């Protein structure tokens, strides 16, 4: 969040300092369109206060910039924030006294901004902005027919109980039938079952889908911090004492290698 000072001219020729508060949202996009999480961040920015500006950075991203210009604007200036600590197990209310504030938000804690608006867009300067000693080589984007993890309404995640990366095929098949994204616990990622861009948790991605299905996940506090805001949580684990059952709305104590294929067949 940026705070600025503006000079306001008076009729007698003098001037007074007037402090204005403004918020800058860095848009996430793929050049063609904004990521849905940008709207959630915009809602968070509206609660922070001040005029909101959206920065769209990239090459050939005019479509994303045009979309950003239609997002609804906001104008409200608090300094008090609420944040989670201890992996989401406690909530802290604090007042920031710094004149300039850089704020990151848990996008899934806010609903997406609705409606549309009209805003002025200014093209950024073009040119060669490579840092000394560095050269842009290439950009590789992960492509999938499944929804993006942080924007999906349904997420199916696997943990150490999956035993191997090959067994994640069970979850991919189920996810394709449900139109779901696939995630994983840190234990599954550290074991090399799946790439780290699927990790859900305190050190991974934060998700809050309508439905979260945890398969073979014990429910470590670090994982819960990344998914406990989900609207409905379903847990499948053969250990009835697994901590995941303490936060689950529905729990199935069963061998996932039997339960998941049966669930897939019924769907």
For residue 160, say whether it is annotated as part of any ligand binding site.
yes
pLDDT digits (tens, 9 = 90+) for 226-237: 998 899 999 999
Measured distance between the N- and C-terminal CA atoms of the chain, rounded to whole angstroms: 46
Is 164's pLDDT higher than 90? yes
* Predicted local confidence at residue 78, as pLDDT: 55
**Residues 6+ positions from 216 with CB-CB distance below 8 Å:** 158, 159, 160, 161, 162, 163, 236, 237, 256
pLDDT digits (tens, 9 = 90+) for 106-155: 777 777 777 777 777 778 777 777 778 887 788 877 777 788 898 899 99
> Parallel, antiparallel, or unpaired: how do β-strands 232-237 and 211-215 relate?
parallel
Q: Are 64 and 71 in contact (CB under 8 A)?
A: no
pTM, entire model: 0.63
For residue 220, say whether it is annotated as part of any ligand binding site.
yes
For residue 6, say whether it is annotated as part of any ligand binding site.
no
Which domains can be identified in the chain, with CATH numbers?
Answer: 2-109 (3.40.50.620), 149-266 (3.40.50.1220)
* Predicted local confidence at residue 18, as pLDDT: 37
For residue 217, say whether it is annotated as part of any ligand binding site.
yes
pLDDT digits (tens, 9 = 90+) for 192-211: 999 999 999 988 999 999 99
For residue 246, say whether it is annotated as part of any ligand binding site.
no
Question: How far, rounded to the nearest angstrom, does the alpha carbon of residue 23 sit from its chain's CA centroid?
Answer: 18
If residue 182 lies in a helix (H) or strand (E), which one and from where to where? strand 181-184
For residue 202, say whether it is annotated as part of any ligand binding site.
yes
Helices 256-266 and 169-178 sit at what angle, rounded to 10 degrees?
30
For residue 183, say whether it is annotated as part of any ligand binding site.
no
d(CA 74, CA 256): 47
For residue 201, say whether it is annotated as part of any ligand binding site.
yes
């Amino acid at each position: 969040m940026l705070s600025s000072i503006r000079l306001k001219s008076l009729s007698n020729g003098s001037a007074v300092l007037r402090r204005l508060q403004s918020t800058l949202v860095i848009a996430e996009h793929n050049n063609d369109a904004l990521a849905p999480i940008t709207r959630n961040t915009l809602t968070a920015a509206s609660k922070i206060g001040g005029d909101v500006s959206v920065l769209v950075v990239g090459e050939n991203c005019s479509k994303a910039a045009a979309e950003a210009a239609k997002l609804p604007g906001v104008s409200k200036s608090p300094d008090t924030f609420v944040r989670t600590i201890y992996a989401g197990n406690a909530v802290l209310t604090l007042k920031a006294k710094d004149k300039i504030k850089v704020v990151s938000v848990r996008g899934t804690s806010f609903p997406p901004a609705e409606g549309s608006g009209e805003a002025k867009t200014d093209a950024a300067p073009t040119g060669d902005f490579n840092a000394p000693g560095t050269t842009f080589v290439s950009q590789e984007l992960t492509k999938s027919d499944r929804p993006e993890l942080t924007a999906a309404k349904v997420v199916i995640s696997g943990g150490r109980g999956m035993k191997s990366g090959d067994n994640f095929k069970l979850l991919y098949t189920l996810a394709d039938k449900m139109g779901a994204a696939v995630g994983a616990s840190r234990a599954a990622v550290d074991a090399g079952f799946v790439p780290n861009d699927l990790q859900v948790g305190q050190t991974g991605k934060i998700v809050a889908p309508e439905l979260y299905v945890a398969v073979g996940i014990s429910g470590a506090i670090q994982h819960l911090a990344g998914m406990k805001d989900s609207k409905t949580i379903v847990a499948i684990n053969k250990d009835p004492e697994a901590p995941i059952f303490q936060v689950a709305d529905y729990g199935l104590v069963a061998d996932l290698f039997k339960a998941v294929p049966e669930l897939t067949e019924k769907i």
